[in-house]
Every structure is written in structure tokens, then in C-alpha cells.
Amino acid sequence: MRNYVIEDLPHYFEEYKKSIKNPKKFWDKVADQNFVWYQRWSKVVKYDMNEAKITWFKDAKLNITKNCLDRHLSVRGEKTAIIWEPNDPKEEAQHISYNELYERVNKTANVLKDMGIEKGDRVCIYLPMIPELAVTMLACAKIGAVHSVIFAGFSASAVVSRVNDCGAKMLITSDGSYRGNKVLDLKSIIDEALEKCPTVEKALVVKRTNNEVKMKEGRDFWMADLYEKASADFVTIIMDAEDPLFILYTSGSTGKPKGMLHTSAGYMVYSAYTFKNVFNYQENDIYWCTADIGWITGHSYILYGPLLNGATTVIFEGVPTYPEPDRFWEVIEKHKVTQFYTAPTAIRSLAKESAEWVDKHDLSSLRVIGSVGEPINDEAWHWFNDHVGRKKCPIVDTWWQTETGGIMISPIPFVTPTKPTYATLPLPGIQPVLMDDKRNEITGNQVTGNLCIRFPWPGIARTIWGDHQRYKETYFSAFPGKYFTGDGALRDEVGYYRITGRVDDVVIVSGHNLGTAPIEDSINEHPAVAESAIVGFPHDIKGSALYGFVILKDTGAGRQKENLKKEINQLISDQIGPIAKLDKIQFVSGLPKTRSGKIMRRILRKIAEGDFSNFGDTSTLLNPEIVEEIKNERI
């Protein structure tokens, strides 16, 4: 990234002002000076925020892998692109150079091609955090196929809904995965899923755990066999600026998951620009983001952002507590990590261990530490600052979303003075606005409201795969002319933003976005359940946890309620994944409803939080007496 590195606070304000006054000029320069293009754009941006139609760098031709790999070969071919740290510290870490990564991507692209994958085809990837995950994503990008990574902790039915929604032609998985001392059998999850995925013609299987797996004749192939025979030469496919790069699913407050579509040029420019500035990236840094690549954080800030900048990025297969609760700190010390980017849930769970685990490690290599995915509370912020950053590393509390493609509001290290629990200031090009419930913009400082963004930025998702109407309704209709984030925010006296949390029916549990409606739908499938409502409540480690209020069809039934609770959680686990399990389940005889039949979640939320102080006016409820009953039986 040349010329667009923000140097100090006055420079930030100057850049910010320029970027708002003339966003076209601003992004035109960033794009022009930092990437290789086959052809330049004819127009920087074109948008209609009412129709939710946005294009960036129209008519430009590129391939993101040329920028992630090829252009680095002459200057840093032998430099390590990926440090892979396996689950078991006794297994040796791998250092994959840019040259080697280039070759592996080429060979894999040939494997995909030989298996019939062409530009525009969708390929789902269900892999653990192994180098092949990065390699297959890049191979898809190289060939012009649209990757859709499905987090390898999701259940078979969650895989089915995603694969079928995008109509994937191929699925890439592994025989298994290591998570701490567990070995998970990924292939049998995929076998079960693929029974219900008619569009998938071929499945490629990477060997990792040597689990015994079933291979279906004509459908399943070992990646290694094909890779061995593949040529190392591949002619990169030329992509249009707005050709799809990937689809990534995120929960909505209602209905099935939303396949957020990111396109080639805008995503590339935005992920690269934000990586460089937010992490103060310098050429010899060793950067580590602990997210899973199956989430947007991993896409933008393990893979694309770092490789676009020619960085060394750490991919960690394991978990923070294996073999001991100092694994993160050990890895930082071992690889001399300079930037460490993690989630508040991880910080909180490690902070509850003895401080000796962290204090005994040499973390002096660290320069910048970061947090993402959920609000970071004051205590966690300070623990992170004191024990990990040792009060010398700025904390970048980065606010963004799957939909935004890259970081939107964040301190810039050594530039923006940090403030605990505040994401602070918008990055150049980002125009946050706070709106009240009557759709009026709230001006001035020391205010709170619904967080919207006024003008498009290059990284914004362009649509929901196959459902543009839903995209428009979800993000562009609540506050016409603006992108609505679904979050609430506070703007303090100096204009710093603090994200206060979701204002819709999405709950963030351990940094995972969970829509309550899909969980309710799966609970309601239990034969004993008549109706349910789920809300979030504060949790010490997970940030938020889920509380379910469940009405049984036959309350007098002699069924063991404890068993029922287990069955309900098993159902959720099977249909969505273990992360969506409920922490508390309360059986109730009714749910507070308005006269039009809408569940009053506001009241349920208060009960779940244990705050009985102000339920508001309950007299308009259809069944006000139920509130007392639910309250008295709260768990």
C-alpha cells in the first residue's frame, strides 16, 4: 500500500475529509496505486441505495490471485506467506513461501479444472484450518469459481441448506479435523449432507487425520491423488470487477441464512487497504488472526488482506486451551508474532485462567493487538491491554460485518488514541450515521441510535445470493437511502463510536451471529413443542447466551423435563450446530403477545436478563398475566 498509509491524527482527519468530500477520487487513487489490473475501470462507483445496486471499478479486469501471489514472486518469492501452526504443538509448523503457495494454488486450480469446474461455478469448502483451506480458496479465485466456505463446525443440515442455496457443483472437505484432543469426523457429516445436495457432482477429500472414511465411487476423490498428477502451470482467468469472488453465509433475524455475495475488485481494494492501515502492517511482520477462515474475519484478515499486502499470515489449526491455556501466548512467542487479532470471547475465557499462563511468556514481539466480532467489555479490554499488550500495544477494536467485507470503524494504531470499549472512528471512506426510530438522523455528539452508513464503500456485499429483494429489504429499507447495519451505537463527546449491540433479533454468542428465528424453527420441530421464543442474555464469557422460553403441547405429560431439554438442544445442534445450543430453557404455559399475536420479546429479554424493573406497559398485551408467571419461574 503506497501513499495511503495514515501517519498521524491530523493526517487521518485530512484523509478522512478528502475521502468523504470526494470518495471517487479517494478510491480511484487507492485502487490505481496498489494493485495490478489487466484493464482499468471506466467508472469508480455507481450506486442506487434505494434499489441496493452498487458497482465499483466498472469494466476493470483483474484476478485477485495475481495481486495475492504472482506480483510478489519477483520481490518476495522466498518469503513465508503462510505459517501453519498445527493443533498439536509436537507436530512441526509449516512455513509456506509465496513461491510454494503459488505452485500449490496452480496445481489445485488444475485439479478443479480437470474436475469440470469453470468460471462462475460454486464450490463449497468444508475444511479445518489447514493450508489446503487457503489453497483451495485461492484456486477457486484463480479459476473464477465462486467459493463458499462453510465453517467446519456446522452440522450436516446447515451444510445442506448452504450448498443447495448456492447450487454448488463441488464440495471440498477432509477425512477429519483435530480440535484440541478431539478428532472430528468431517467426512461422515458431508456424506450425510450430500445425500440431500443434488447439485454437487464431485467431492474432493483432503487427508488430514487418516480417519477411515467411505468414498463414494464416481463422486468422491482424494485430493492428493489428483494433486500429484496436476500440472503446475495454470493460466489465470480474467475476472470482471463485479464478477463474484465468494459467497459467505450469515444468519439473518428471520428465515434461512443469507448468502452474502462479495465481488472481485471492490473486495480486493477494501480488504487490502484496511489490513494495511488497521494493523500498521510492515514488511517483516508476522501477523496472526485467530479466527476461523470459515468466517468473514478469516476471509479478509487471514487470507486476502494479508496476502494482498505480501504479508506472512499465521493459520492456527487448534484451540486456545490445548494442550494448555497458554497456547496462544506460546504461539506468539514461538513465531514472534507482531500483530495479534482475536475475539472478546477468547480474551474473556483466557482471562479467567491464572495470569501466570500469559505473564510467563515473552510477548515482546507484539506491536498491535486487535479485537473483533462482538462488543469488548471494559474488564476484557483492560486484561488484554495489561497482560497481552503489556500496555505498549494499541488495541484495535474493529467493528464490521460479513456484509461490509472489511473493517469499518476502528482505531488506527499509533494514530487514533484508543478508549476502552470504543471502536472509535470510521476509516476513510466510511460515513456512519445514527438514526432514530422515526428515521431521522441524529446529529451532534453524546447520542445513541441505529447505526447506518451513508455512502457505499468498495467492500460492501453486492447482494444476497439468489435473493436481491431480501438484500434490499434487510439492509436498505429500514432507513431509505442508507445501509442499515442492524447494530445500535453511541457517539461520545468527541465523536468516537461505541457499538452497543444488535437492535434486531440476532444474538452474538461467542462472536457467532445467530438469528433467533431459525433456532425457534428447529425447536418447534420437536414433537412435544408447541411454540418457543428465544432471546439473548448477558454471559460472562460468551458475551451473550441464549435463553429459550418453550411451550409444550402437553404440559401434563409425564416426560422428564430434563430429557426434553437435552433433546431440544440436540435438535438445535443437529440442525444448526452446537454453537446455537440454549444455555437456559424455561418451560412456560404461554408467551407474552400483543393483540396482533406478536411475541413481546422486549419483555422476555428483560426477564432473561433478570431485570424486572420496567416492563413498560403490559396492559396492551393479550395475556398480561403470563408475565408474572414467567418471571416467577425464571431459571
Binding residues (CB under 6 A) for ligand PRX: these are: 250, 296-297, 372-375, 397-402, 423, 485-487, 499, 502, 508, 513
- Please, what is the minimum distance in Å from the beta carbon of residue 198 to ligand PRX? 29
Name which of 71, 68, 60, 3 is nearest 37 in CA terms.
60
Query: Residues near 443 by Cβ (< 8 Å), separated by ≥ 6?
Result: none
Burial class (CB in 10 A: 0-12, 13-18, 19+), 301: buried
Burial class (CB in 10 A: 0-12, 13-18, 19+), 341: buried
As a whole number of angstroms, the distance between CA 342 and CA 198 comes to: 37
Query: Residues near 627 by Cβ (< 8 Å), separated by ≥ 6?
Result: 592, 603, 607, 615, 618, 621
- Please, what is the minimum distance in Å from the beta carbon of residue 375 to ligand PRX? 4
As a whole number of angstroms, the distance between CA 370 and CA 482 comes to: 28
Q: What is the CB neighbour count within 10 angstroms for residue 467?
A: 16
Cβ-based nearer residue to ligand PRX, 372 or 552: 372
- Please, what is the minimum distance in Å from the beta carbon of residue 400 to ligand PRX? 5
- Please, what is the minimum distance in Å from the beta carbon of residue 192 to ligand PRX? 26
Name which of 360, 130, 382, 103 is nearest 232 in CA terms.
103
Residue nearest to ligand PRX (CB): 402
With beta carbons less than 8 A apart as the criterion, state whether 126 and 101 touch.
no
As a whole number of angstroms, the distance between CA 289 and CA 316 comes to: 9
- Please, what is the minimum distance in Å from the beta carbon of residue 384 to ligand PRX? 13
- Please, what is the minimum distance in Å from the beta carbon of residue 565 to ligand PRX? 27
Cβ-based nearer residue to ligand PRX, 166 or 194: 166
- What does the block give as the cell for 577? 450446530
Cβ-based nearer residue to ligand PRX, 180 or 255: 255
**Longest alpha-carbon distance in the chain:** 74
Report how far apart, in Å, the C-alpha atoms of 158 and of each of 184, 197, 397, 522 are.
17, 12, 30, 11
- Please, what is the minimum distance in Å from the beta carbon of residue 448 to ligand PRX? 14
Cβ-based nearer residue to ligand PRX, 173 or 371: 371
- Please, what is the minimum distance in Å from the beta carbon of residue 251 to ligand PRX? 8
Cβ-based nearer residue to ligand PRX, 41 or 316: 316
Burial class (CB in 10 A: 0-12, 13-18, 19+), 550: buried
Cβ-based nearer residue to ligand PRX, 250 or 280: 250
**Residue 479, SS3?**
coil
Q: How many CA atoms lie within 13 A of 222 on its CB side?
A: 10
Cβ-based nearer residue to ligand PRX, 132 or 374: 374
Cβ-based nearer residue to ligand PRX, 388 or 499: 499
- Please, what is the minimum distance in Å from the beta carbon of residue 550 to ligand PRX? 26
Q: Please give the sequence-ordered ranges of beta strands (E in DSSP) within 150-243, or none if there are none.
A: 170-174, 177-179, 182-184, 202-206, 220-222, 239-240
Cβ-based nearer residue to ligand PRX, 197 or 433: 433
Cβ-based nearer residue to ligand PRX, 61 or 419: 419
HEC letters along 386-417? HHHCCCCCCEEEEECCHHHCCCCECCCCCCCC
Cβ-based nearer residue to ligand PRX, 301 or 547: 301
- Please, what is the minimum distance in Å from the beta carbon of residue 271 to ligand PRX? 12
Size of the chain in residues: 635
Cβ-based nearer residue to ligand PRX, 320 or 406: 406
Cβ-based nearer residue to ligand PRX, 41 or 399: 399
| Helix 23-34, helix 264-278: angle, nearest 10 | 90
- Please, what is the minimum distance in Å from the beta carbon of residue 502 to ligand PRX? 5
Cβ-based nearer residue to ligand PRX, 144 or 429: 429
**Residue 510, SS3?**
coil
- Please, what is the minimum distance in Å from the beta carbon of residue 515 to ligand PRX? 11
- Please, what is the minimum distance in Å from the beta carbon of residue 72 to ligand PRX? 26
Cβ-based nearer residue to ligand PRX, 126 or 249: 249
Q: Is the backbone of residue 594 left (phi > 0), alpha (psi -120 to 50) or beta?
A: beta
Q: Please give the sequence-ordered ranges of beta strands (E in DSSP) within 26-145, or none if there are none.
A: 43-48, 53-58, 61-62, 80-85, 94-97, 122-126
- What does the block give as the cell for 157? 443440515
Cβ-based nearer residue to ligand PRX, 173 or 250: 250
- Please, what is the minimum distance in Å from the beta carbon of residue 511 to ligand PRX? 7
Q: What is the CB neighbour count within 10 angstroms for residue 365?
A: 16
- Please, what is the minimum distance in Å from the beta carbon of residue 618 to ligand PRX? 29
With beta carbons less than 8 A apart as the criterion, state whether 271 and 389 touch.
no
Name which of 66, 110, 65, 69 is nearest 231 in CA terms.
110
- Please, what is the minimum distance in Å from the beta carbon of residue 195 to ligand PRX? 29
As a whole number of angstroms, the distance between CA 370 and CA 381 comes to: 10
Name which of 358, 354, 360 is nearest 342 in CA terms.
358
As a whole number of angstroms, the distance between CA 316 and CA 563 comes to: 37
| Residue given cell 493459520 in the structure block | 315
